[in-house]
Amino acid sequence: MEMRTQEELHGIVIIGGGISGLATALGLHKKGMKSVVLERSETLRNTGAAIAFFHNGWHAFDHLGVGDQLRAKSTLITEMHTKWVHKDGTGDVIPIGEEGLRCVKRSDIVDALADSLPSESIRFGCRIVAVETDPVTSFHAVHLEDGSVMRTKVLIGCDGSNSVVAKTLGLKPPNLFRTQVAQAVTSYPNGHGLSNHFLYLWGDKLLLGRVPIDEKTVYWFVVQEVNPKDFESKEDSRVVRDLTVEALKDCPAEVVEMVKRCRFPYIESDIMDNDCGWGCYTLAGSGTIQGAGTALEDAVVLARCLSQEMPIGLSESKMSDQEIQIRAGVALRRYARERRWRILLLSAKSYLLGSILCASWPKRFVFLIIFSKILGGKFSHTKYDCGHL
């Protein structure tokens, strides 16, 4: 790990080297703006299962310059098959559209983003414990666990759902939702033999999703009401797998078998929030709302807003501190404005989807009507275009 002097000054510091932090750094890099990503773990966190992206996510990947290499590692899915366990597996086939969706292993995404960045832009082993803002300059002091301090003109919090940045800057904690998601990848060395569709299997207060990544691997997730028992054991993947299998007792044998065969299932609670701050700091990615597609959109919009206000970057800039403060504030307010309505819509959709899962049948019916008639249905948000970098 690189040695740090006691107090370094940076133009832009990004806290968190997950998909959001890396994508934001890459967006800025593509606009010629330097930033430094501070990640608490000692190496790249390229574990996890996989993530499905619709058109909106691929659009952002393309602008970040990694779209084609990730497309090559995925399969195009153009149909969704919705089935109901209690109706003997009958259901509907819903076309997703020509653009469809593609599912990519999380490791491939993290590696592609990190490999596109200059190596010195990511620093590992940097756990942030607190952030302070200078009331006069609005610049930030970032305190690391090892006692060192970094100063930065602009601070971007991409440190996930329990964001230290959000906490120390006084933002509300994220709203934890009533549902939890277990997810994993299952490999079939001789091929899975499934057709290229996204299966949505509704059970009693349970939803299973299954998407092929390529001919030999399948990504799946199981959403259900939060079960404290599952959360106590979330670190032990064998227990997560056994509890998930137990929850699928009424489901077809092939999906139960898929879950039994998986390695390293991973469980987390759903979050929803829509606060992203202003001044010379902001949040992006799952610090604001769950979802890697939204994290990528945030990265593109944020890099665009900052580079429009500071076309020659921050480190090289001859601007006075006061001018930087004003321009950064303008850029981050524009970012917050551009995403406000989108995040509100996504929050409403997440809320309704979770409610459909946990509600009684009459309430489910009402929620489904609101979901499809007022909020535009399952796929309306996937047509969103975050624009160019």
Is residue 292 close enough to count as binding ligand FAD by CB under 6 A? yes
Residue number with CB closer to ligand FAD (286 or 307): 286
Question: 60, 85, 96, 158: which one contacts ligand FAD (CB under 6 A)?
Answer: 158
17 binds ligand FAD (CB under 6 A): yes
271 binds ligand FAD (CB under 6 A): no
Q: Between 307 and 346, how does the x/- string for binding to ligand FAD read (CB under 6 A)?
A: ----------------------------------------
Measured between alpha carbons, how far is residue 156 from residues 164, 283, 324, 377, 388 in Å? 11, 6, 15, 32, 20
Q: Quick one: 11 or 285, whose CB is closer to ligand FAD?
A: 285
What number of other Cβ atoms are within 10 A of residue 193's Cβ?
8
Task: Based on the shown chain and the rule CB under 6 A, indicate whether residue 266 belongs to the binding site for ligand FAD.
Answer: yes
Part in contact with ligand FAD (CB under 6 A); list of ranges 90-98, 124-132, 300-308, 354-362:
124-132
Nearer to ligand FAD, 20 or 217 (CB): 20
C-beta of 47: minimal distance to ligand FAD in Å? 5
If binding is defined by CB under 6 A, does position 364 make contact with ligand FAD? Answer: no
User: Which CB sits closer to ligand FAD, 86 or 261?
Assistant: 261
Q: Which of residues 171-190 bind ligand FAD (CB under 6 A)?
A: 183
Assigned token pair, 261: 């065969």
Whichever of 206 and 223 has its CB closer to ligand FAD, that residue is: 223
When binding is defined by CB under 6 A, the residue of 13, 143, 154, 159 that contacts ligand FAD is 159
- Count of residues touching ligand FAD (by CB under 6 A): 33
The distance of Cα 31 from the centroid of its chain, to the nearest Å, equals 22
127 binds ligand FAD (CB under 6 A): yes
Residue 143 CB, nearest approach to ligand FAD (Å): 10
Q: At its nearest, how many Å lie between ligand FAD and the CB of residue 108?
A: 11
Site string for ligand FAD, 29-58 (x = CB under 6 A): ---------xxxx---x-xxxxx-------
Give the position of tokens 């597609």. 293
CB of 286 to ligand FAD, least distance (A): 4
Residue 18 or 27 with smaller CB distance to ligand FAD: 18
21/100 with CB nearer ligand FAD: 21
Of the candidate residues 12, 20, 100, 241, the single one contacting ligand FAD (CB under 6 A)? 20
Rounded Cα distance, 78 and 95, in Å: 6
Encode the chain in three state secondary structure.
CCCCCCEEEEEEEEECCCHHHHHHHHHHHHCCCCCEEECCCCCCCCCCCEEEECHHHHHHHHHHCCHHHHHCCCCEECEEEEEEHHHCCCEEEEECCCCCEEEEEHHHHHHHHHHCCCHHHEECCCCEEEEEECCCCCCEEEEECCCCEEEEEEEEECCCCCCHHHHHCCCCCCEEEEEEEEEEEEECCCCCCCCCEEEEEEECCEEEEEEECCCCEEEEEEEEECCHHHHHCCCCHHHHHHHHHHHCCCCCHHHHHHHHCCEEEEEEEEEECCCCCCCCEEECHHHCECCHHHHHHHHHHHHHHHHHHCCCCCCCCCCCHHHHHHHHHHHHHHHHHHHHHHHHHHHHHHHHHHHHHHCCHHHHHHHHHHHHHHCCCCCHHHHCCCCCC
What are the phi and psi torsion angles at 364 (to 5°)?
Answer: -55, -45
CB-wise, 18 or 67, nearer to ligand FAD?
18
Q: How far is the CB of 278 from ligand FAD (least distance, A)?
A: 19
Q: Using CB under 6 A as the criterion, which residues of the chain lie in contact with ligand FAD when the complex forms? A: 15-21, 38-41, 45, 47-51, 106, 126-128, 158-160, 164, 183, 266, 285-287, 290, 292, 295
